[in-house]
Amino acid sequence: MDRSAELYRRSSEVTPGGVSSPVRRFEPNPLFIAEGKGCRVKDVDGNEYIDLCMAYGPLISGHANPEIMAAAQEQLSKGTVYGAPSEPELALLEKISSSIPSAQMVRLSCSGTEATMHAIRTARAFTGRNGIVKMNGGFHGAHDAVLVKAGSGSTEGTPSSAGVPQGATQYTRTVEYNDISAMSDVLERNDDIACVIMEPVLGNVGVVPPEKGYLEEVRRVTSENDVVLIFDEVITGFRVSEGGAQKRYGVTPDMTTMGKIIGGGFAAGAFAGRKEIMELVAPQGPAYVAGTFAGNPVSAAAGLAQLRYLCRNDNYAKLERSSDRLVGAIRDALIDNKIAGCVNSVGSMFSVYFGPEQVRNGTDAQKADREMFGRMFRYMLEHGVYLAPSALEDCFMSTAHDDEAVSALEEAFSGFVSTVRA
C-alpha cells in the first residue's frame, strides 16, 4: 500500500470522509501532499505533479514563493497573534483600499466564508431589509443563508445541506447568472431585498464569465431598487486584475468580499465597501462583526508581500499570456479532434467542459459530462498533472508556471483529448 492510501485510511478513522474539505476527496484515495515548490507539488510517495489546483486559487505566485515566505517568517519571529492591531494588518488594509475600487473602508476576517456572512449582515443593517438574491450555482461560503443552489441545483429557498433549517434560507432567492430579465423581475416583485450577492465571474460551477453589458445592467437595476450590490471576489480579487473583476469590467459594486490571494497562502478574508455602509460595522456601528484571528499579522504580512509581488514587473500581463497560451492549446485540441465541449477562461483561471458548446450560467454547467472529466482527471494524474478532482472546480495558473510547465501542460491536455478521439 502506498503512503497516501495508508494515511487516508488513518484519516478516515478520525475525520468525516478522511478530508477536511469535501472537494479534496477522490477515489480510491486523495493524494497526501508533502511539499510544494513553484508550480509543482510532491506527494508523500515522492511523485511530482504540475499543479493546476494551486490550493483552489490562493497561490497565484506559486508554492513557497521566496518573497512571501520571507515576509511570513519575519513576522513569525515577532509573534503569531496579538489580539490587538498591528502594522502588517494596517498595511494590508491600506493596500486593499487603494487597489479595489469599491473599498472605501475594509474589515479583515479569517476566511471568504466569514467575509460573505459579515457583508450580508452589514447590508441588512444598512437597508433594514432581510432578503438576499444570489445566482444559481454561485458559492458564497458554507454559512446557512447562502447554501441554496450553491452548485447543487436545489429548489429555490430550500437548503442545499442537511442541518440547515428552512428558516435560515427563507429570505434567499436565486436567479440565473447572465439573465438580467430574471434579476430585474425578482427585484421588482420583492420589496424586502437587502442585497444581491454574486460572483462577477462564476467560479463554483467552473469559470463562467459575464456576457457583455450584464454586470453594468445588474449595477443599474440594483441602484434603481436601492439594493446593495455585493461582488464576491474571494476568487477573482487580485487574480483577474490588481483591482479584481470590478476593475477589469469597469463596474463598481457597493460592497466586495475577498479571501484566498489576500492571505498569501495563509487563512484570510475581508469585506469592504462604501464608507456609509461600512461605518455600520462594530465598534463604530450596530452590526456586530468580530474574530480572534481577524487581521492575523502573519497572514497580513504574507498577503501584503504577495500583492506587492504581483503588482510589479508586469506580472499580471505575463501570467495572462501564459494562461491564454494554454487555454488556446486546449481549445485547439478539442476542435482538431472534434470533441464536443468548450473552455471558459478569465485571466489566469479556466475550466474545461465536455459536452456543452457554450456554458453561460449554472444550469449550463450542470450539463457538462462529469464522467469525461473524471477520465481526464485520471489521465492527467498519471501524466504528472494535478487538477482539482471536481468537474466544476477551476484550474488556476500562477506566475510560477514557466514556459517548460506550460509546454508540458499543453502536451498532457492534447494527449488526453487524442485518447478520447481514439
Residue 256 placed within a domain: yes
User: How confident is the model at residue 152, as a pLDDT?
Assistant: 32
Mean pLDDT on 20-30: 92
How wide is the angle at C-alpha 264 spanned by C-alphas 262 and 266, nearest 5°? 100
Tens digits of per-residue pLDDT, 201-235?
Answer: 999 999 999 999 999 999 999 999 999 999 999 99
Where a domain ends, among 248, 275, 310? Answer: 310
User: How confident is the model at residue 139, as a pLDDT?
Assistant: 86
Q: Quick one: 74 and 41 in the same domain?
A: no
C-alpha radius of gyration, the chain, whole number: 21
Q: Quick one: 262 and 376 in the same domain?
A: no
Q: Quick one: 107 and 220 in the same domain?
A: yes
Q: Quick one: 93 and 228 in the same domain?
A: yes
Q: How many domains does the chain have?
A: 2
Q: Quick one: 114 and 142 in the same domain?
A: yes
Q: Quick one: 127 and 253 in the same domain?
A: yes
Residue 401 placed within a domain: yes
The length of the chain is 422
Residue 181, C-beta contacts closer than 8 angstroms, at least 6 positions apart: none
| Contact indicator for 94, 103 with CB cutoff of 8 Å | no
Tens digits of per-residue pLDDT, 296-335?
Answer: 999 999 999 999 999 998 999 999 999 999 999 999 999 9
pLDDT of 352 strictly over 80 = yes
Residue 11 placed within a domain: no
How wide is the angle at C-alpha 270 spanned by C-alphas 113 and 39, nearest 5°? 80
Mean pLDDT on 338-348: 97
Q: Quick one: 259 and 193 in the same domain?
A: yes
User: Closest by alpha carbon to 229, among 187, 191, 189?
Assistant: 187
User: How confident is the model at residue 141, as a pLDDT?
Assistant: 81
Residue 16 placed within a domain: no
Where a domain ends, among 281, 310, 339? Answer: 310
Q: What are phi and psi of 135, to 5 degrees?
A: -90, 145
Q: Quick one: 52 and 71 in the same domain?
A: no
User: Which CATH number do you get for residue 73?
Assistant: 3.40.640.10
User: Which CATH number do you get for residue 354?
Assistant: 3.90.1150.10
CA atoms within 13 A on the CB side of 158: 5
User: How confident is the model at residue 163, as a pLDDT?
Assistant: 72
pLDDT of 416 strictly over 90 = yes
User: How confident is the model at residue 25, as a pLDDT?
Assistant: 93
| Contact indicator for 44, 34 with CB cutoff of 8 Å | yes
Q: Read off the pTM.
A: 0.95
Q: What are phi and psi of 143, to 5 degrees?
A: -95, 160
Question: Hey, CA dihedral for 117, 119, 125, 130, is it positive or negative?
Answer: negative
Q: Quick one: 152 and 224 in the same domain?
A: yes
Residue 375 placed within a domain: yes
Mean pLDDT value across the chain? 94
Residue 7 placed within a domain: no
What are the DSSP calls for 144-186, one per residue? GGG-SSSSS-PPTTS-SSTT--GGGGTTEEEE-TT-HHHHHHH
User: How confident is the model at residue 155, as a pLDDT?
Assistant: 37
Tens digits of per-residue pLDDT, 120-167?
Answer: 999 999 999 999 999 999 988 877 667 676 543 333 456 667 776 777
Tens digits of per-residue pLDDT, 3-13?
Answer: 999 999 999 99
Where a domain ends, among 249, 280, 310? Answer: 310
Q: Quick one: 37 and 85 in the same domain?
A: no
Residue 5 placed within a domain: no
Q: Quick one: 325 and 372 in the same domain?
A: yes
Tens digits of per-residue pLDDT, 227-244?
Answer: 999 999 999 999 999 999
- Domain residues for the domain of 407 are 31-64+314-421
Residue 22 placed within a domain: no
Mean pLDDT on 38-67: 98
pLDDT category, 176, cuts 50, 70, 90?
A: very high
pLDDT category, 1, cuts 50, 70, 90?
A: low
Q: Quick one: 54 and 155 in the same domain?
A: no
